Structure 1
Amino acid sequence: MHIHIIQHESFEAPGAYYVWAISRGHEVSFTRCWKGDVLPESMEGIDWLLIMGGPQSPDTTEAECPYFHSQKEQQLIRDAMSHGKIVLGVCLGAQLMGAALGAGVERSPEKEVGLVKLHLTAEGKQDPITRVLPPEFVSGAWHGDMPGLTKDSVILASGGGCPRQIVRYGRKAYGFQCHLEFTRKTVDGLIAHAPQDLENPKHSPYIMTAEQIREYDYTTMNDQLFFLLDQLG
């Protein structure tokens, strides 16, 4: 299987997604946007599109961020879905999926940075992919927005300060506002590049300290992600 990863920033790494892909023997290619890489012209030869996070929004213009091409990514998402490809969006990637389908992006009720407790919805417990997750589980989080919903989308996991943590947009298309791919290495990158996100003047329960984030053992979280991805791949 050929998995193509759109990575917007060096510090928004695929983490456990990449570890899983390599461990399963899949071919992996990248568009590293911050390096000026060009997006694929089509999904020909690509089985799986994975869109990672970033500080941008689906509404971010090329004037604001010259290497971020929101409309082109949204078109690629639509093309992938129309051709029956597997599409996963993480954080910004999930928001781009909602925007690509006409749902836009919305502010999350709470900003979340660190780790949050989530639960599967009734639909999530029945979904062929997410039902392998425990009814309640811990995930990484690093966001202030959340994906918009279409009339056909289904919320599969909720919790923390955001009601839209995992959203199904199609039979093979899932948006993950949450970050099950976090590892100690990836969170180190986020902390180094966005220390301002850890400021918590209102003492929100959904914003953790750098020390709390670094000391967490991400093994179980990653194992749960691997099990989930095995259902797709």
Structure 2
Amino acid sequence: MHIHFIQHEVFEAPGACLEWAKDRKHDITFSKVYENQPLPETADNIDILIVMGGPQDPGTTREECPHFDAHAEKALIQKAVEAGRAVVGICLGSQLIGEALGARFEHSPEKEIGVFPIRLTADGLKDEKLNHFGASLAVGHWHNDMPGLTPQSKVMATSAGCPRQIVAYSNLVYGFQCHMELTPEVVELLIAEELDFLENNTVHAYVQKPEEICKHNFSEMNEKLFQFLDKLAEEYRLTSSLFPDLEKTKK
């Protein structure tokens, strides 16, 4: 399978998502937009599109951040969804998916940085790609916003600080406001970017100190993510086999 990553900043690295793609020996390509690498013109050669996070939001303009083109990314997401590809958005990526499908992103009730539990909703517990998470799972967080909801979307997981942690927009399109891709190496990059804030925060209840974040073992969370991605890839394979014209466009 061909996995394409959109990465907005060096410190918002794909972490465990990239480990999964390499371990499964998938073909991997990148649009590292912070290096001004272009987006694909079409989704024809993509099986799973993974859109990473970033300090931007979907309303960030080219004037504010010259390397981030929200309109172009939303257009690619739309093409991928319309072509029946699997799409996963993380943090900013989840918000871009919602916007691409007509739902405006919103500010989360709480800023969350650190490791806090998410709880699956009734819909989440019924979802075979997610229910192995269990009723509650400690995961990474690094956000201030959350994705919008379309009439067809379902909230699959919430947290104490954010009511939209995982959103299913279809059986192949998922937005993760939380960061299950975090690894110790990625956490170090993120902490370095916000060290002053993390050390001096006295306002936000769901922002942990750097040492508290670093002591967490991310392996269980990563393994749960791997299982989700395996299940998503398998559902995509089954869906593609039902529509052989999809396979023709990727050859």
Compute the TM-score of the two structures, normalised by the length of structure 1.
0.97
Looking at structure 1, the residues matched to 40 and 197 of structure 2 have their Cα atoms a distance apart, in angstroms, of: 32
Instruction: State the match for 2:88 in structure 1.
Output: 88
Instruction: State the match for 1:163 in structure 2.
Output: 163
* Deviation string, structure 1 residues 56-91 (Cα, Å, up to 9, x no partner): 010001111111010010011111001110000000
List alignment gaps of at least 5 residues for structure 1.
none
- Code of the residue aligned with 2:85 in structure 1: it is K
- Code of the residue aligned with 2:128 in structure 1: it is P
Give aligned-pair identity as a percent.
47
Structure 2 counterparts to residues 1-233 of structure 1, below 5 A: 1-198=1-198, 199-202=200-203, 204-233=204-233
Q: Larger strand proportion, structure 1 or 2? A: 1
1:128 CA displacement: 2.4
1:215 CA displacement: 1.2
List alignment gaps of at least 5 residues for structure 2.
234-251
1:197 CA displacement: 4.2
Looking at structure 1, the residues matched to 40 and 103 of structure 2 have their Cα atoms a distance apart, in angstroms, of: 24
Which stretch of structure 1 is more off in the superposition, 87-96 or 187-196? 187-196
Structure 1 residue runs of 4 or more that deviate by more than 4 Å after TM superposition = none
Equivalences, count: 232
Looking at structure 2, the residues matched to 200 and 148 of structure 1 have their Cα atoms a distance apart, in angstroms, of: 28
Looking at structure 1, the residues matched to 197 and 115 of structure 2 have their Cα atoms a distance apart, in angstroms, of: 14
* Deviation string, structure 1 residues 92-122 (Cα, Å, up to 9, x no partner): 0000011111111101000000111111000
Query: In terms of Rg, which structure is larger?
Result: 2
Q: Is the 8 A contact 1:58 1:105 kept in 2?
A: yes
Name the SS for the 1:118 alignment partner.
strand
- Code of the residue aligned with 2:3 in structure 1: it is I
Instruction: State the match for 2:241 in structure 1.
Output: none
Looking at structure 1, the residues matched to 195 and 99 of structure 2 have their Cα atoms a distance apart, in angstroms, of: 28
Q: Is the 8 A contact 1:54 1:92 kept in 2?
A: yes
Name the SS for the 1:170 alignment partner.
coil
